[in-house]
Amino acid sequence: MTGFADIAVWARDSGVIAGLVFLRIGAAMALLPAFGEQVVPVRVRLGITVALTVLVLPLVGAVPLADPTPGPLLRMGAVEVLVGLALGLAFRVMVIALQVAGSIAAASTSLAQAFGAGLGADPQPAISTLLVIAALALACAAGLPVRVVEALVLSYQLFPMGGAAPDGLIAAWAVADVARAFALAFALAAPFAVAALVYNLALGAISRAMPQLMVVLIGAPALTLGSLVLMALAAPVLLSVWLGQFHGVLADPFAAGR
């Protein structure tokens, strides 16, 4: 009977630990790039979450449960969800940076009204959608699934299961990393902003030199063509810069907050 009691305690503790790991991964999955997009069916996301739980659980190791009563378990579950959301948000802001860069580029050119169905619920400018889809495909080809598993495992070194809520660290990261993401977005959109400035200066000079010429009828098609050509030339460079930054975030998601 003592052996059966030990097995029952082990099974209970293992089930609780597996549930806590599932909570952290499930919360992160809601915001992870590529895996957590709204175009991915819910059943597929749930299956990926279960598969990641099976992969991560043996790597977490044995975690002693000091008090397996409902109150402490609910607190641990809330902390795991908070850590998972923070981890997913650390990666999601990099995708938001691309969306902001695409919106700035579209506003700087004549493509601001070219909206279409994006990966989320709200429509995005065509440039944003193109950059996001290309970046996610590039990240997956560069080993995003493996890096996500590594980040999830390493998160238990920074935030051990059963620890206190990391409010201070998450708050510091939220300010620093969001600022870094917006700086990256403006840097990526800089070629389009500079091209738009040069175009407007040239258009103004032509208009002053030839007031009778309808420069808008000539300039609008030229701006559209120039924007498409600039997009084709700059997109590979922009995506390579973004991928380097994204790999840095995958290696240490909360580095900006320390």
Position 77 scores a pLDDT of 84
Question: pLDDT (tens digit, 9 = 90+) per residue, 42-78?
Answer: 888 889 999 998 888 887 766 666 566 677 778 888 8
Rounded Cα distance between 250 and 150, Å, is 8
Question: pLDDT (tens digit, 9 = 90+) per residue, 130-182?
Answer: 888 889 888 888 888 888 888 888 888 888 877 766 666 777 777 888 888 88
CA–chain centroid gap for 168, Å, is 21
> Has residue 120 got a pLDDT over 70?
no
Of residues 118 and 206, which shows the higher confidence score? 206
Q: Which residues of 53-90 are buried (b: 16+ CB within 10 A; e: fewer)?
A: beebbeebeebebeeeeeeebeebbebbbbbbbbbbbb
Cβ contacts of residue 3 below 8 Å, gap of 6+?
Answer: none
- The CA distances from residue 91 to 162, 188, 209, 240, in Å, are 24, 17, 50, 17
Q: Which of 12-21, 31-40, 85-94, 175-184 has the lowest mean pLDDT?
A: 12-21
Please tell me whether residue 198 adopts helix, strand or coil conformation. Answer: helix
